[in-house]
Structure 1
Amino acid sequence: MSGPPLSARALGRATLARQLLLGRDDRSVPDAVAHLLGLNAQEPDLPYLALWSRLERVTITDVTRAIEDGTLVRSTLMRSTQHVMTAEDFTLVRPALAGLLRRVQRNTFGSRTRGIDLGELVRDARELLADGTVLTRPELGRRLAASRPGADPTALGWTVQYLLPVTHPAPSGTWRTRGATPFALPRGALPAEATADDVATLLRRYLAAFGPATVSDMRVWSGISGLREVVAGMRPDLRVLRDERGRELLDLPEAPLPDPDTPAPVRLLPAFDAFLLGHHDRTRVMSDDVRRQVCVGSGVAATVLVDGTVAATWDLVVGDGAATLTVSPFRRLSAAERDEVEAEAHRLLAFTDPGAEHDVRVVG
């Protein structure tokens, strides 16, 4: 191990830099998504908001165009949740997550698909989606159930989502567009499983976007088991650090480690933002007390970063020609912090609802 222990603040500054949150970046939408190794997309607006918080110049049209032309694809990926990722990275990441998604299917729908040949089910689904056919999950489930008397169409549709690499093409996943999830096959063939070299490549990409990190952090972010063997083979090419509790942190040798006192601007992050979910120990991002208020059940609130850590949540209500953004702090904000939060909130409203009347409220 080299150098002094890294404090939570130092780790936070490192991750902020790699997440493009210490200053807005000038790269393109696809390049930013590739660097970040995907964006959470459980709701259609989330990738747009995540990119707005990180890029100097980005419009809703820029993101939508990348989804519509297939540069970005939406699928079930890390932590078995919806993400937007470049089509190129999808071919790397999805096979590495095959084992995780099989476990999710078995734990969630195993009893409801008992007696069904899942290999045959996947082959039939692939045939139904051949030649560019797009079917919603309910439609696909019903067609598969038609030749399987007594089968649960809902369980079949979800099982395919976990076991077959499918994407959810536009207009699904575009700005403020909701509805039944469409299924399509990706444009290129994907390997059924990832090799150890593929997983090592994925972990290096993770460290570039989230490091320094422990093996437990990597596992929590990805959901991939058996990482210690892969990491053992990577060690000669990694920098080994430690935190103040003596835990081993792995990193890329050339990755930035900013001074802990580097100024961190206010940022409004969307719900489920990867900055909050990329580590097992999240104290570099928020205190345990704040985490309990932000991460409730399966939900993760939209948050406000002040001086690099979570200081508030925010909520946006749009209707009747008005857009109201309410910020709820976890602590008293100084006058300067409050001004910066309000200014950033107004900039966000100019992005999301340029034609509406804007109202920003900081409560408490």
Structure 2
Amino acid sequence: MLTAARTLLGAQAQVHSAAILQLRARTAALADAEVAGALHDSRSLVKLWAQRSTLHLMPTADLGDLLALRRLKQPEYHAWYSREGLPPERVAVLIDAVVQALADGPHSRMDLSRRLVPQLGDWAQPWLEHSWGGVLKLACALGHLCHGPPRPDDNEAAFVGLPAWLGQAPVVPADSAHGVANFLRRYLAAYGPATPSDFRKFAGIPAGPCRQAFQNLAGELLAVELDGRPAYALARDEEALRRAEMPAGHLAVLPLFDPWLLAHADTAQVVDARHRTAIYRQAGWISAVVLRQGRVAATWTHRRLAVQGQPVWEVELAPLSRLTKAERRVVLDRLRHLSGGLDVRYAGG
């Protein structure tokens, strides 16, 4: 589980169950309880806003590099706050108040609002209750907080102070250039060959630090051509890349928001342009897919039913090209693995 999370550079957790499926797709077996244990007991995984300011399950051991990356977002956050009438001095007051409140234990957005607005004034309310994270996103980028255990009495996310949650001193971000270079090195190991535009999109960082990271790793990079465009891989991976060959007819099943579908700016690498909107949908929604030799062959959705008292996944499969009966059987086996061993059936038989 931790190896999968680290290789992916985090499992995207805008939908928490999707993150679990992303990890399960890359492990021999993984129970929901194992992920919960890693998040809430051993705390070897942390849920927080990561690259592209989206929620991820990240290995705790990787937080130094991640925070170096995230701190590059500070000017963007402050520009947003300023446009909406929140000056930097009030941002600082809010973050300090949030950190002090979280020292007492987990708090939801509404908890923080109820506690802090009477102290600070009504101006603080929208920035504490903001559905996109408000000032909490910057506090997270600065290493002050992360998501804690779910609250049993409601559906609100609960936040905890990151250092206290991990039982250690504050996480020290890596030097900015060093941290981003490390992140790029690991990105290319998982998703290369790739272009600087690909990395910038995946990491969600400004163009300047992106260019600098490629310059800092120049001695480790192998220049290649990717669909007629210059791209880069790690030089240490050259032999493995030259030998790599996808088995004929290879099928993989990936869940919602899978990082593989978010790793490159040019989505033509994974799906034909005419089918792109079936995968990359409105509001940033990324469909669950079936890959045939690395390219999208179908999308799928599921709903969980109870049949004779037993949980069942009923799956709607939407092929983008013909799937044979043999391929559909393989896909069904992959779906059973993703389900965690539940019975899986296609809708309509």
Tell me the TM-score normalised to structure 1 length.
0.81
Partner of 2:252: 267
Partner of 2:39: 67
Secondary structure, counterpart of 1:254 in structure 2: helix
Aligned counterparts, 1:1-364, within 5 A: 29-69=1-41, 70-100=43-73, 102-104=75-77, 106-107=79-80, 110-111=83-84, 113=86, 117-130=90-103, 133-157=105-129, 158-165=133-140, 166-171=145-150, 179-187=155-163, 188-191=169-172, 194-225=175-206, 226=208, 227-245=210-228, 247-255=229-237, 256-257=240-241, 258-263=243-248, 265-297=250-282, 298-321=284-307, 322-349=312-339, 351=340, 354=342, 358-361=344-347
Shift of the alpha carbon at 1:264?
A: 6.0
Structure 1's 118 and 264: CA in aligned 2 closer, same or farther, altered over 3 A?
farther
Contact 1:112–1:155 (8 Å) recurs in 2: no
Q: 1:52-82: per-residue Cα shift (whole Å, max 9, x none)?
A: 2111232222222111221100001111110
Secondary structure, counterpart of 1:147 in structure 2: helix
Note the aligned Cα RMSD (angstroms): 2.6
Letter in 2 for 1:295: Y
Stretches of structure 2 lacking an aligned partner (at least 5 in a row): 164-168
Structure 1's 127 and 218: CA in aligned 2 closer, same or farther, altered over 3 A?
same
In 2, distance between residues paired with 1:211 and 1:324?
Answer: 35
Secondary structure, counterpart of 1:151 in structure 2: helix
In 1, distance between residues paired with 2:66 and 2:223?
Answer: 25
Structure 1's 329 and 238: CA in aligned 2 closer, same or farther, altered over 3 A?
same
Aligned length: 326
Shift of the alpha carbon at 1:253?
A: 1.6
Larger relative helix fraction: 2
Secondary structure, counterpart of 2:269 in structure 1: coil
Structure 1 stretch 292-301 or stretch 218-227: which is displaced more?
292-301
Higher relative contact order (CA 8 A, sep 6+): 1
Contact 1:217–1:278 (8 Å) recurs in 2: yes
In 1, distance between residues paired with 2:302 and 2:81?
Answer: 33
Shift of the alpha carbon at 1:94?
A: 2.3
Letter in 2 for 1:168: H
Contact 1:105–1:159 (8 Å) recurs in 2: no
Structure 1's 344 and 324: CA in aligned 2 closer, same or farther, altered over 3 A?
same
In 2, distance between residues paired with 1:195 and 1:99?
Answer: 8
Shift of the alpha carbon at 1:213?
A: 0.8
Stretches of structure 1 lacking an aligned partner (at least 5 in a row): 1-28
In 2, distance between residues paired with 1:102 and 1:126?
Answer: 20
In 2, distance between residues paired with 1:362 and 1:203?
Answer: 45
Letter in 1 for 2:235: P
